Structure 1
Amino acid sequence: VLFGIIYLVMDVFYSIKDIGFWSMIPALSLDSHEREKMATFARIGSTIGANIVGVAIMPIVLFFSMTKTGGSGDKTGWFWFAFIVALIGVITSIAVGIGTREVESKLRDNKEKTSLKQVFKVLGKNDQLMWLSLGYWFYGLGINSLNALQLYYFTFILGDSGKYSILYGLNTIVGLVSVSLFPSLAGKFNRKRLFYGCIAVMLGGIGIFSIAGTSLPLILTAAELFFIPQPLVFLVILMIISDSVEYGQWKLGHRDESLTLSVRPLVDKLGGAMSNWLVSLIAVAAGMTTGAKAADITVHQQVVFKLSMFGFPAAAMLIGAFIIARKITLTEARHAEIVEELEHRFSAATSENEVKANVVSLVNPTTGQLVDLSSVNDEHFASGSMGKGFAIKPTDGAVFAP
């Protein structure tokens, strides 16, 4: 019970951190191309971090374990692994907080506190954000389902779950390469074209996967064709969501960075939860449950499994791509126009406010006769070199503070 409570609290705060981390992108730059570079480096870091755990977990656990327990380690080993992970997490989080500097801009001064009642109203009026979220949800539902079913494929179709580690290693390498290429690919093709290309490659990978059978080279080729575009699509979606911060500001009149960027983790979690539920249903329908072996799966169950593993994700991805193609108009060029218009709008408003702020009323400092400044017997004042003004010749000898 205690572990369950701690785990849930940890997961909630992880989500808050995730939102805070990625919502820094629109706070660090207003330029789409600079955002692409920052997001690329962030994604490279997260890819390395996530995969290092898979490589280092058991060597660390076993190193600190008092008894090896058949290669699984003991409580001491697992404690020190958890301690090291927690320590690294705290140190790197502090480093991010200290090392980043938010851009100063009149656009970012245009913030308001958004109440809980206003959240859905703000999100609902940002049509680009809402349509993108819906399209991304269908896409995520498809890829999460297929990714989760790959282990079932290796276990019950190929009949060798040990080979899954080969796929895991390949994903680490190609994931880093794929992410590194994002800025140049986005610059060459633009985001929407890159997105369409990624979907086409992934569908090709699904097609090959569906006929791969028990051929490991074909399985790995298909799985990599399906995986390579995934980091690119993530960054495309993230960049459009980041740009929708300014779109929402342009449309609604105020800026909501964290609220806008919170949509991506929310959609990811909803898609992940739904796909987990679907995967469990598919596994039961195909007889791939605890205690089953590859030899136990009938031809009919294999057909049910393959139709579910390949047909459903392909359909979900196509629906998501169709929504994004038809409804998303926020291109890099359009975003640049919006930023320019916002800067113009807020600069003009600021100048007007500054003029109003500089108009002050002064009470007469003295009673007397108003005379032209040029008649003053001081050449510096009379010439105007000290600034514009006027002079008063007092009549009652009293001068007061204005």
Structure 2
Amino acid sequence: MENNKLDKRTKWSYCIGATGRDMAYALISMFLLTYIQYTMKLTVAQYAVISAIMVVCLLWDAINDPMMGIIIENSHLKAGKFKPWIFIGVILNSLIIICLFTVRPEGWGFVAFFGVGYLLWGMTYTMNDIAYWGMLPSLTSDPGERNWLVTVQGIFICIGQFSVAGLLPDMVAGNAIMAYRTAAIVIAFCFIGFQLLTVFGVKERKRPEKKRTLSLKDMFHIFLRNDQLIVIGIACLLFQIGNGLLIMIGMNFFYFEFGYSVGGSLVFWFTIMYGLGTLISEASFAWLSSKFTRNQIITAATIITVIGYMLFMSVGYILPQSVVLLNIIGFLIFFSQGAFNMTMIVMLNNTIEYDEVRFHERHDSIISAVRSFATKLASAVDQAVVALILIISNIYAISQKISGLEIKAGTGELTSENVIVQADKFIQTADAGQRFILRLGIVAVPVISIGAAYILIKRKYIIDERKYEELVAEIKSTNKK
């Protein structure tokens, strides 16, 4: 830890590498269920089983994440501690992504195929994910360098997510099967390309060899002894539950408010707000951190987020049904959620030094795995919430009629124009009550979960800027002895 300054090649190779990762993750987390909903003919029972499979697999992934952290911590490979797992994970995961969007058995056969494929996707993504995020805190403990890495990495994460979330919705209406298949192949190759940049461009820092091999028992001991890790881990879970829901179910919202083709185009503009809001918040994070404390940033972010969702709920009821207004509100929500997320990443990484001072051990991969654990567990909750909302509101039943049209378009029985015209007729059968249930779910869950995350951090998290400086100084002093 005597030299915390990073060379430019390492910094940029690490940060740019995030682009492909988040392209791939956005495709699966935002569009896989929508792909199934609008291109596969499945009964409500089959769709419910698929949703349950996703929840179970994500729960397993959440458990698997810290286990992968242990494997990485115990690794002594010539190529480095993190790079081999980044490489193996990206190759295997990319192949599975292509299969999930190209292999199309029918009925229960698809359910079985999906169960195996989605399980393998989660496990191979975990290899890459834990290694990639574990590498970040291991590169430097300097607050300025770490803030720079988190900020620039956040920009490329946003670019990756936006390139998929913004462009794909406008391409699928009337040609969904081919559009999703092509997107999966392109994104898989982008995933590989960007991660190879990290593998070959980053210079890993050498750490003292661990005196003993860590076990599962050690892993749980490391988690439970670190009270600040527990606090920020639970807060991260609560925040991620609310953070992803609007984008996950957003296509359904726009389809049923504005029509199948028009709604897809409007998702593009709404996702631009997602990209701009997140990008600006992440690009300005280093500057915000120099002017305001993390506590001030996260307080303001929470207030803006709650106000944004209340305004979103009011559009069409109290406020006018305006696309421009929805986009402005979306920008406010995504900007504030981006600032909240960036602050939490720093807070989580800072628990590594907190643990090191207290117990004289450093476990970058295991502690960093908590973020991935929380994200996967939140995704499981969100998948269950989305499925529940769609089934209760009867939106899923209507979307299955559109799915039948897309299948016929895929075989050449219908043109794209015919699909869009008939799909809009099906969408018009949804009544005001069904659309209200859809919107209520989009708003209520994020407000409750993000609000709870803020309260927990405010009351229990103690590693502020001064405390972190003291921790780093104590570690440096110890290492000089």
Per the TM superposition, whether the score is higher than 0.5 is: yes
Per-residue deviation, 1:36 = 1.1
Structure 1: distance between partners of 2:158 and 2:141: 25
8 Å CA contact 2:308–2:330 kept in 1: the answer is yes
SS for the counterpart of 1:123 is: helix
1:55-112: per-residue Cα shift (whole Å, max 9, x none)? 77799x99xxxxxxx756869x957x6565444433432321332234467xx66775
1:143 matched residue in structure 2 = 243
1:345 matched residue in structure 2 = 478
Select which of 360, 373, 382 maps to 1:253.
360
1:233 matched residue in structure 2 = 340
SS for the counterpart of 2:357 is: helix
Per-residue deviation, 1:54 = 5.3
1:193 matched residue in structure 2 = 296
1:277-319: per-residue Cα shift (whole Å, max 9, x none)? 0121122222222326554333444444443332232122111
- 1:174 is the counterpart of 2:285: no
Q: Between Structure 1 and Structure 2, whose CA radius of gyration is higher?
A: 1
Per-residue deviation, 1:138 = 1.5
2:39 matched residue in structure 1 = none
- Larger mean Cα displacement after TM superposition, 268-277 or 164-173: 164-173
1:325-360: per-residue Cα shift (whole Å, max 9, x none)? 101111122111011112212322xxxxxxxxxxxx
Counterparts in 2 of 1:155-174, with a 5 A limit? 155-159=255-259, 160-162=262-264, 163-174=266-277
Counterparts in 2 of 1:188-337, with a 5 A limit? 188-213=291-316, 214-291=321-398, 293-337=426-470
The structure with more helix, counted as a fraction of residues: 2
TM-score (norm 1): 0.75
Per-residue deviation, 1:250 = 1.3
SS for the counterpart of 1:101 is: coil
8 Å CA contact 1:247–1:338 kept in 2: the answer is yes
1:102-133: per-residue Cα shift (whole Å, max 9, x none)? 4467xx66775321111111101111111111
- 1:130 is the counterpart of 2:224: no
Select which of 193, 197, 208 maps to 1:95.
197
Aligned residues: 337
Per-residue deviation, 1:198 = 1.0
- 1:14 is the counterpart of 2:114: no
8 Å CA contact 1:131–1:328 kept in 2: the answer is yes
Structure 2: distance between partners of 1:158 and 1:327: 44
Gaps of 5+ in 1: 63-69, 349-402
Counterparts in 2 of 1:21-36, with a 5 A limit? 21-36=132-147
Q: State the AA in 1 paired with 2:214.
A: T
Cα distance change of structure 1 residues 300 and 88 upon mapping to structure 2, 3 Å threshold: closer
Cα distance change of structure 1 residues 300 and 7 upon mapping to structure 2, 3 Å threshold: closer
8 Å CA contact 2:226–2:355 kept in 1: the answer is yes
Structure with higher RCO (Cα < 8 A, 6+ apart): 2
8 Å CA contact 1:245–1:260 kept in 2: the answer is yes
Cα distance change of structure 1 residues 53 and 307 upon mapping to structure 2, 3 Å threshold: closer
SS for the counterpart of 1:23 is: helix
8 Å CA contact 2:166–2:269 kept in 1: the answer is no
TM-score (norm 2): 0.63
8 Å CA contact 2:391–2:397 kept in 1: the answer is no
Structure 2: distance between partners of 1:230 and 1:10: 27
Counterparts in 2 of 1:104-123, with a 5 A limit? 113-123=213-223
8 Å CA contact 1:191–1:331 kept in 2: the answer is yes
Cα distance change of structure 1 residues 82 and 279 upon mapping to structure 2, 3 Å threshold: closer
1:130-158: per-residue Cα shift (whole Å, max 9, x none)? 11111121222122233323323222234
2:254 matched residue in structure 1 = 154
Structure 2: distance between partners of 1:204 and 1:277: 26
8 Å CA contact 1:19–1:258 kept in 2: the answer is yes
8 Å CA contact 1:131–1:324 kept in 2: the answer is yes
Q: State the AA in 1 paired with 2:137.
A: P
